[in-house]
């Protein structure tokens, strides 16, 4: 049974989410044009400048206003707390201008930070403890910290790559300071954000093979478009390594392994495709929890064009927000 949701709150918010290659960006752009609105990216890799091919920053994004894209250089850290703070401010600002913000992306933590009150963000920081963990990462390797998190909070560890050191350190810091593991805080104490009136559209596929085919095709296109050259440029310009947060992204980490002569060119492509498919599966599992709420609509994309899906979603939006 779906949980009821009050449709009377001030800050409206449209969320277009779904697994990689489900058509989120194109549909969000269609909606932004129809509603004369603006898009907030909820993609943890699109925040990085110059990471364009592997994050699917197409020329279409310049057709409408986009926020939370190209914020920082690839050698800088960025957290879900950074996203939540900036994105919540944007949601209010866009609403104040009589427009409806559209969040588009597949990074579950980012979307959760808008839909829910993320209490772990209120846990303060302990720079001394952070320095201690950073020293351990340098001395014993990223895997050491990742293993420690896996032992303390396996559910949170599953959501991270071992190279996402800053996120792993933050999770360990939360446990150190609060005595609670992040996954318990998320599931046990998490409340819906009372400051927004959301409509979530979950793009999904009944035929998983069709989605995987789209993923495999997208990976080949990224390679053809010059992903390897992009990574070479970033590594040279910013002195990036496999320990850099930005290089933990699928596509980038495999290319880096190829450039370091750890895998062959063919293995690189196969690994990107396989890892992206696995990631899409995790995204679907994550996003299905939104179906418990009355503000979420699942859009089956198997037989729909992007224009068809956009029309269906637009009709629901107009009815829900009385446009």
Cα separation, 123 vs 186, in Å, equals 13
DSSP states of 227-290: HHHHHHHHHHHH---TTSGGGGSTTHHHHHHHHTTSS-HHHHHHHHHHHHHHHHHHHHHHHGGG
The verdict on whether residue 162 carries a ligand-binding annotation is no
Tokens of 130: 């952070």
Cα separation, 230 vs 44, in Å, equals 18
The verdict on whether residue 25 carries a ligand-binding annotation is yes
Phi, psi (degrees; rounded to nearest 5) at 39 = -110, 135
Q: Tell me whether strands 39-41 and 196-204 are parallel, antiparallel or unpaired.
A: unpaired
Among candidates 140, 109, 154, which has minimal Cα distance to 289?
109
The verdict on whether residue 22 carries a ligand-binding annotation is yes
The verdict on whether residue 58 carries a ligand-binding annotation is no
Annotated binding-site residue numbers for substrate: 20-25
Annotated binding-site residue numbers for ATP: 18-25
Annotated binding-site residue numbers: 18-25
């Amino acid at each position: 049974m779906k949980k009821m949701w009050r449709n009377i709150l001030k800050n409206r918010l449209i969320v277009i989410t779904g697994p990689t290659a489900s058509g989120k960006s194109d549909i969000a752009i269609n909606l932004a044009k129809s509603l004369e609105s603006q898009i907030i990216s909820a993609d943890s890799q699109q925040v990085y400048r110059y990471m364009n091919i592997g994050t699917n920053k197409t020329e279409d994004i310049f057709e409408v206003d986009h926020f939370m894209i190209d914020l920082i250089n690839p050698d800088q850290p960025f957290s879900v707390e950074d996203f939540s703070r900036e994105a919540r401010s944007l949601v209010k600002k866009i609403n104040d201008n009589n427009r409806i913000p559209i969040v588009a992306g597949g990074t579950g933590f980012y979307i959760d930070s808008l839909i829910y009150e993320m209490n772990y963000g209120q846990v303060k920081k302990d720079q001394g403890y952070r320095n201690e963990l950073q020293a351990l990462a340098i001395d014993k390797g990223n895997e050491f910290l990742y293993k420690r998190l896996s032992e303390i909070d396996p559910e949170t560890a599953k959501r991270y790559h071992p190279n996402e050191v800053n996120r792993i350190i933050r999770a360990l810091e939360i446990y150190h300071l609060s005595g609670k593991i992040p996954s318990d805080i998320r599931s046990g104490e998490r409340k819906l954000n009372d400051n927004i009136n959301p409509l979530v559209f979950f793009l999904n596929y009944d035929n998983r093979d069709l989605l995987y085919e789209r993923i495999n095709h997208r990976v080949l296109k990224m390679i053809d478009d010059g992903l390897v050259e992009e990574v070479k440029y970033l590594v040279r310009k910013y002195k990036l390594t496999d320990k850099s947060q930005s290089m933990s992204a699928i596509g980038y980490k495999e290319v880096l392994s190829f450039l370091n002569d750890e895998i062959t060119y063919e293995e690189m492509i196969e690994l990107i495709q396989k890892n992206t498919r696995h990631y899409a599966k995790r995204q679907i599992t994550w996003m299905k929890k939104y179906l418990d709420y009355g503000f979420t609509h699942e859009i089956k994309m198997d037989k729909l064009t992007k224009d068809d899906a956009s029309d269906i979603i637009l009709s629901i939006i107009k009815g829900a927000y009385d446009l």
